[in-house]
């Protein structure tokens, strides 16, 4: 049987872990979270979200050191609780996380149209999707190298434009520590969680890394780099753009392109083109990382008969899960179309943040449960302090999840919050129906086929 190839090193682990998070939708998220704070203190909320992500990352690292597989997230839950629960939660998580693509394509289209209105955004989206799909089908090493170039270029570009933004205001940031009310700060942190979306997806390429011990190290490095870059850029953007301009960006009449407006205010037309380039890189790295990681997860689910078996097919020449990639692309198209039709963006950020909180809580529960069920299982990475850190993760993310879906929001965000709650409720129901009504029949069918292929023992002739 064709196997996945082990070719990924630390550099690509970092760029992949950060890749999904380096999305254009984060520029809007920065402005959204800043609107819940009284001063230019978005950096505080972002660093708080980053620290919380590190705590959750520690849980993923311990679990992945026990079971380093592409289907890790499902397997962790299955080992700790049961397979039906694992498939339901994993399905909700994957479908929620891939919702970022709808917002990503929509915001990218607005950025391109700002200066290149003669080219339809859908053409660019289709072109990038085809290129990334072909790169991923050719192999993880090629896709990983592309990911490295794009991700590290993004880091450098955002740091440079942030420093220039500070220089343009003489390094004077008004009210950098004014956060406002506790409700507002918690909502800002909740939105900040979406900015670190899917850093943990790097564990889905565990079967392709040269050394499994690099996964925790790469995950923490990517979180540290993201937190620093985000804190710098969000603070610079909110300092350079005035409150009125930021408020206009968030209205239905406004354009969700604060990064383009930021570049234009700093450097005129050159700034616009520079930030469009940054937006293109952001979308490329996010979509590339999304295809790389989610396709491995779906492939592993199909390999374990949790999804139709044909999805687990690997390319005969490149040993890549090409059918799973097509599934990801198809789902992404549906989400993107919804984004174009409705023009809603913030509800997707809420969906991402809510499903992130859900999976972090579940992973912390798995750590506690498996320490009791499998105390002797080898762990190359183990959280110190017993149950303290996992319990902190459960409590903190539980509070934040409540604020995301039913907590107080600005009047203009109420509709987005209701759509997010309805979407998550719907995909939970769909996954429950699949697990309890469809999957048993699918498994029975595959088991029957497998039994039929088993060679039958020939009966020995009896001696006279």
The neighbour count for residue 49, using CB atoms within 10 Å, is: 27
φ/ψ region of 307 (left if φ > 0, alpha if ψ in -120 to 50, else beta) reads beta
Mean of per-residue pLDDT scores for the chain: 82
Mean pLDDT computed over 45-62 = 92
Mean predicted confidence (pLDDT) in 113-119: 73
Cβ-contact 133, 329 below 8 angstroms: yes
433 has pLDDT over 90: yes
Adjacent-strand bridge partners of 209 = 8
CA distance 189 to 41: 11
Burial of 129-142, coded b for 16+ CB within 10 Å and e otherwise, reads beebbebbbebbeb
The residues pairing with 8 across neighbouring beta strands, listed in sequence order, are 209
Q: Is 222:14 a contact under the CB 8 Å cutoff? A: yes
Q: What is the CATH number of domain 10-450?
A: 1.20.1740.10
Query: Taking residues 307-333, what's their average pLDDT?
Result: 84
In the structure, what pLDDT confidence band is assigned to residue 1 with cuts at 50, 70 and 90? very low
Q: What's the CA gap between 169 and 156, in Å, rounded? A: 21
**DSSP run (H or E) holding 21:** none
**Mean per-residue pLDDT, 407-435:** 89
Cβ atoms of 179 and 41 within 8 Å: the answer is yes
pLDDT at 125 over 90: no
Q: Cα angle vertex 423, ends 422, 424, to 5°?
A: 95
Looking at residue 457, what is its pLDDT?
Answer: 58
Output 199 or 395, whichever has higher pLDDT.
Answer: 395
The SS3 of residue 5 is coil
Q: Which two tokens stand for residue 457?
A: 């023992």
Please say if the pLDDT value at position 412 is more than 50: yes
Q: Over 70: is that where the pLDDT of 92 sits?
A: yes
Distance CA 233, CA 155 (A): 10
Residue 457 DSSP symbol:
P
Of the two residues 293 and 192, the one the predictor is more confident about is 192
- Nearest-Å Rg of the Cα atoms of the chain is 23
Hey, where are the domains in the chain?
10-450
State what percent of residues in the chain have pLDDT above 90.
23
Lowest model confidence (mean pLDDT) among 81-95, 102-116, 132-146: 132-146
> What are the backbone angles phi and psi of residue 8, rounded to the nearest 5°?
-90, 135
- Are 21 and 97 in contact by the 8 Å Cβ rule? The answer is no
Quote the pLDDT of residue 194.
83
pLDDT score of 140 more than 60: no
Contacts of 130 (CB under 8 A, 6+ apart): none
pLDDT in the model for residue 4: 52
- Residue 7 reports pLDDT greater than 90: no
- Mean of pLDDT values over 336-358: 80
pLDDT bracket for residue 464 (50, 70, 90):
very low
Q: Which residue has the higher pLDDT, 46 or 314?
A: 46
Instruction: Please state, for a pLDDT cut of 70, what percent of the chain lies above it.
Output: 85
Q: Does position 276 have pLDDT exceeding 60, yes or no?
A: yes
Kindly report the number of other CB atoms within 10 A of residue 247's CB atom: 13
Q: Which of 239-253, 272-286, 400-414, 423-437 has the highest mean pLDDT?
A: 423-437
Coil, helix or strand for 141?
helix
The values of phi and psi at residue 316, to 5°, are -60, -25
First vs last C-alpha separation in the chain: 45
Q: Quick one: pLDDT band at residue 330, thresholds 50, 70, 90?
A: confident
State residue 206's pLDDT score: 67
pLDDT tens digits, residue range 161-186? 999 999 999 988 888 898 888 988 99
Residue 22 gets the label, from left (phi > 0), alpha (psi -120 to 50) or beta, of beta
What local confidence, expressed as pLDDT, does residue 430 receive? 93
Mean pLDDT of 279-301: 75
Rounded Cα gap, residues 108 and 279, in angstroms: 7
What number is the average pLDDT over the span 322-347?
Answer: 78
Q: Is the dihedral of CA 223, 229, 234, 235 positive or negative?
A: positive
Is the pLDDT score of 215 beyond 50? yes
Mean pLDDT of 51-62: 91
């Amino acid at each position: 049987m064709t196997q996945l190839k082990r070719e990924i090193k630390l550099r690509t682990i970092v760029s992949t872990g950060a890749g999904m998070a380096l999305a254009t939708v984060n520029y809007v998220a920065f402005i959204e979270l800043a609107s819940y704070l009284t001063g230019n203190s978005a950096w505080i909320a972002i660093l708080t979200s980053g620290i919380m992500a590190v705590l959750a990352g520690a849980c993923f690292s311990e679990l992945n050191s026990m079971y380093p597989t592409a289907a890790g997230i499902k397997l962790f839950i299955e080992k700790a609780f049961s397979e039906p629960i694992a498939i339901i939660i994993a399905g909700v998580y994957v479908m929620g996380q891939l919702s970022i693509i709808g917002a990503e394509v929509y915001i990218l289209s607005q950025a391109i149209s700002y200066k290149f209105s003669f080219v339809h955004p859908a053409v660019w989206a289709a072109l990038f999707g085809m290129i990334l799909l072909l790169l991923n089908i050719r192999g993880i090493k090629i896709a990983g190298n592309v990911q490295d170039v794009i991700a590290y270029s993004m880091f450098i570009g955002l740091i440079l434009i942030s420093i220039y933004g500070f220089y343009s205001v003489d390094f004077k940031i008004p009210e950098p520590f004014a956060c406002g009310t506790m409700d507002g700060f918690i909502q800002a942190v909740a939105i900040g969680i979406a900015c670190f979306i899917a850093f943990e997806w790097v564990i889905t390429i565990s079967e392709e890394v040269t050394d499994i011990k690099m996964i925790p190290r790469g995950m923490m490095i990517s979180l540290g780099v993201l937190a620093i870059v985000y804190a710098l850029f969000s603070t610079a953007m909110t300092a350079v753009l005035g409150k009125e301009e930021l408020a206009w960006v968030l209205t239905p009449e406004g354009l969700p392109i604060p990064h383009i407006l930021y570049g234009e205010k700093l450097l005129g037309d050159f700034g616009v083109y520079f930030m469009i380039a940054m937006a293109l890189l952001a979308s490329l790295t996010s979509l590339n990382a999304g295809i790389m990681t989610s396709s491995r997860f779906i492939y592993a689910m199909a390999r374990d008969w949790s999804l139709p078996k044909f999805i687990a097919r690997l390319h005969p020449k490149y040993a890549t899960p090409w059918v799973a990639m097509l599934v990801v692309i198809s789902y992404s198209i549906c989400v993107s179309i919804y984004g174009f039709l409705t023009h809603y963006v913030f509800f997707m950020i809420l969906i991402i943040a809510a499903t992130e909180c859900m999976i972090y809580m579940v992973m912390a529960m798995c750590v506690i449960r498996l320490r009791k069920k499998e105390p002797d299982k080898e762990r190359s990475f183990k959280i110190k302090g017993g149950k303290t850190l996992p319990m902190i993760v459960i409590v903190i993310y539980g509070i934040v999840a409540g604020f995301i879906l039913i907590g107080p929001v600005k009047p203009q965000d109420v509709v987005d919050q209701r759509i997010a709650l309805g979407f998550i409720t719907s995909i939970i129901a769909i996954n429950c129906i699949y697990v309890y009504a469809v999957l048993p029949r699918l498994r029975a069918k595959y088991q029957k086929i497998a039994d039929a292929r088993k060679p039958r023992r020939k009966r020995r002739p009896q001696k006279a």
